[in-house]
Structure 1
Amino acid sequence: MAEGGGDQVPRAVFFRLFPSIAVPMFLAAVDQTIVATALPAIAADLGQVERVPWVVVSFLIATSVSAPIYGRLGDAYGRRRMLLGALAMLLVGSVLCAFAQSIETLSAARAIQGFGGGGLMTLSQALIGETIPPRQRGRFQGYLAAIFLCASTIGPLLGGLLAENFGWRSVFLVNLPLGVLAVLLALRLEKGRAPGGRFGAVLDLPGVAMFAVAAPAALLGLESLRHPTSSHLITAAVLLPLSVVLVWLLLKWEARVTAPLLPIALLRKPAVWMADGLALCHGATMISLIAFLPFYLQVVRGATPAESGLILLPMTGGIAVGALIAGRIMSRTGGLMTLPSVGMSCFALGLFGLAVALPVVPTNWLPVWFAVLSPMLGTVMPAVQTTVQMAAGGAQLGAAASSVALARSLGAAVGAALTGTILFAAAALIAGPGGMAAVVTLLESGPAGAATLSEQALAVARVDLASAFRVALAAIGSYAAIAAVLAWRNPQRRVE
């Protein structure tokens, strides 16, 4: 089964292990993106358009916080047991989401989902690293990345179809049959031996507390910057420095404790922190596009939720294809960072070009544009996971997997919040106080809101929002550009 060198992976091991982690990974990944095309419907039903992005961001915050926790607990108490616990939490959160009656309760339920989803992603990656020889990990990480990205592909389309035909609540109920299948498959995994130990000794509880406050403080501070009022600016001025101080204290604390939440010694290695930084920027780029493109397509270009999902399909499908191809090339050649170095450079240039050309690009050409660019975005995750696992060695696979999952989730959360802040700020500057009201109406209610505006006000609001989105698209391009720099500078270029 091996190609290009490396130990062979027995087929029996592959067929027992891979389906058992692929379905949980798919379930966690689809929940990141399935709500994207349903957000306008959620906003129209529950209102509070300025808080609607938190339906996405709360999930991402929770995955960021939970990823390192599950890495530590999986090493101590067994990954199979923790995988089942994460599945249970995600399913409970899905039911609560389906019955939420406000944006606040929906965001809280999404956080519960995220606490489960972060575990599924971390534990899946650690199980691959535990079983698969290093040279073959690129190939299998490509498979996992393809599963993750296929879920991202199906998510927006499925979310749009469900919201349009059965209401937005069905977006969360669809998790239940998938979750039952994931539980049955996870039960097939071997229990394995785990050292166990006292919970407080295994898990760095002060570190968890500091991190659990620092991440939301940073994101709430960014969200406050969207609003030009003095109260919101004061909130941002308090929360953003608080988050910086807490991160500094967390790093100082983690360097001293015997069982740190964050693997500081591992993160000091240039190959690791550059790979994790690459994962962070990759998450910011991908999730920002998936979260904000549907809004643009529906409120500016007049697409339906289902149509916007179809337009995104070539982009997310191309990422999955790129991940599969990159994983196979890595296994054959042993090269690690060359593909993401070139890929992210091309992707950044493509986004900058689209930001400039967007007003003259027809809607039916957008899928073509992203189909050409998106395989470049798929080159990242196989290289990142293999690089970090090689640097960590067998004794720290859980820490390695959690560092990548944390970086990707944190990048997605910060990227989505920062992009939303830039979008709203640009819209406010371009539209002015009077025009912003029409833009908010259009964002809040979609076609229904458009019907309440005069023809002239609607046309002006769409032009203003289109200009603001070009600014946001350039910001997303900058995330990809930073990722390219980190990939070019990473010293770990090959795997033997």
Structure 2
Amino acid sequence: MAAMTTDTPAPAAIRRMVAVFGLCGFAASLATRALDPLMAELARDFSAPHGQVALLATAFALPYALVQPVLGPVGDALGKRRIVTLCAVLLALMLALCALAPGLSWLFAARVASGLAAGGIFPLTLALFGDSVPLAQRQVAISRVLGCSILGQLCGGILSGLVAEHIGWRGVMAICAAVAVLAFLVLVTEARGRPRAPVGPRPRLGDALR
């Protein structure tokens, strides 16, 4: 068996990465579908047409997709772990704002902002695994993180269907925010003692758009 180089993470370190970033992927995906079963309740609470309230799904999903090409170069320049951690805390804050939204326009704005924050977690996580995990273990590790993300989407709808009757849609958003806080705290704890990522060249928006 070939000796593992000092730059190659041990299997335990890879499993820890999967657990830490799998939780981040779960938190980023949990809110994606959490409001879908609650559109009737939201329309009633805000006295708004169902068609207008249904746009809350797009308000999260579209920014989630559009921000990813931009945050890729930013992660290369400032450090991928640093940007994932920043996105996790922003996600927690925006989901908390969703739970506290006084009106539908505020909820739309908070959903857009939370979609932007969530969109920075997943692609940079994949890039981190590409940088850190040897090719022989990379596919399995990434597939487990993908599984956590998919599980988050499934659990979001199930969670809201099970508990919204008792705690309402605001309570569902509060739970999503709490999971994002947990992911942020785990990221910060795991990063202690780790050398700071070097700062790369300044990101250029034109490169990201191309």
Q: Which residue of 1 aligns with 2:208?
A: 261
Q: C-alpha distance in 2, partners of 1:129/1:261?
A: 19
Point out which structure has higher relative CO (alpha carbons under 8 A, 6+ apart). 2
* Residues 1:15 and 1:172: Cα distance change in structure 2 (over 3 Å): same
Matches within 5 A, 1:136-155: 136-155=137-156
Q: Which residue of 2 aligns with 1:58?
A: 59
Structure 2: which 5+ runs fail to align?
Answer: 1-7
Q: Tell me by how many angstroms 1:86 deviates.
A: 0.4
* Residues 1:15 and 1:192: Cα distance change in structure 2 (over 3 Å): farther
CA contact (8 A) 1:81 1:191 kept: no
Q: Which residue of 1 aligns with 2:80?
A: 79
Q: Tell me by how many angstroms 1:191 deviates.
A: 4.7
Q: Which residue of 1 aligns with 2:4?
A: none
Q: C-alpha distance in 1, partners of 2:142/2:85?
A: 22
Q: Which residue of 2 aligns with 1:11?
A: 11
Matches within 5 A, 1:172-191: 172-187=173-188, 188-189=190-191, 190-191=194-195
Matches within 5 A, 1:22-61: 22-46=22-46, 47-61=48-62
Deviations 1:208-228 (A, max 9, x none): xxxxxxxxxxxxxxxxxxxxx
Q: C-alpha distance in 1, partners of 2:11/2:157?
A: 33
Q: Which residue of 1 aligns with 2:20?
A: 20
Q: Tell me by how many angstroms 1:56 deviates.
A: 0.9
Q: Tell me by how many angstroms 1:180 deviates.
A: 2.6
Matched position secondary structure for 1:194: coil
Question: TM-score, normalised on structure 1?
Answer: 0.38
CA contact (8 A) 1:89 1:116 kept: yes
Q: Which residue of 1 aligns with 2:132?
A: 131
Pick the aligned partner of 1:193 from 197, 201, 205. Answer: 197
CA contact (8 A) 2:37 2:157 kept: yes
* Residues 1:192 and 1:130: Cα distance change in structure 2 (over 3 Å): farther
Q: Tell me by how many angstroms 1:58 deviates.
A: 0.9
Q: Tell me by how many angstroms 1:31 deviates.
A: 1.2
Q: Tell me by how many angstroms 1:192 deviates.
A: 4.7
Q: Tell me by how many angstroms 1:137 deviates.
A: 2.4
Structure 1: which 5+ runs fail to align?
Answer: 1-7, 208-259, 265-496
Matches within 5 A, 1:335-350: none
CA contact (8 A) 1:93 1:113 kept: yes
Q: C-alpha distance in 2, partners of 1:16/1:136?
A: 13
Q: Tell me by how many angstroms 1:57 deviates.
A: 0.4
Q: C-alpha distance in 2, partners of 1:183/1:49?
A: 34
Q: C-alpha distance in 2, partners of 1:183/1:88?
A: 6
Q: Tell me by how many angstroms 1:129 deviates.
A: 1.2
Q: Tell me by how many angstroms 1:61 deviates.
A: 1.7
- Residue type of the alignment partner of 2:197: R
Deviations 1:457-479 (A, max 9, x none): xxxxxxxxxxxxxxxxxxxxxxx
Matched position secondary structure for 1:101: coil
Q: C-alpha distance in 2, partners of 1:107/1:51?
A: 10
Q: Tell me which structure has the larger Cα radius of gyration.
A: 1
- Residue type of the alignment partner of 2:18: F
Q: Tell me by how many angstroms 1:9 deviates.
A: 6.0
- Residue type of the alignment partner of 1:40: A
Question: TM-score, normalised on structure 2?
Answer: 0.86
Q: Tell me by how many angstroms 1:195 deviates.
A: 3.5
- Computed over aligned residues only, the root mean square deviation of the Cα atoms, in angstroms, reads 1.9
* Residues 1:16 and 1:174: Cα distance change in structure 2 (over 3 Å): same
Q: Tell me by how many angstroms 1:14 deviates.
A: 1.4
Deviations 1:14-60 (A, max 9, x none): 13312221111100111111111122211221122121122110111
Q: Tell me by how many angstroms 1:12 deviates.
A: 2.5
- Residue type of the alignment partner of 1:196: G
Q: Tell me by how many angstroms 1:138 deviates.
A: 2.2
Matched position secondary structure for 1:167: helix
Identity of aligned residues (%): 27
Deviations 1:268-305 (A, max 9, x none): xxxxxxxxxxxxxxxxxxxxxxxxxxxxxxxxxxxxxx
Report the count of equivalent residues. 199
Q: C-alpha distance in 1, partners of 2:94/2:167?
A: 20
Q: C-alpha distance in 1, partners of 2:16/2:158?
A: 30
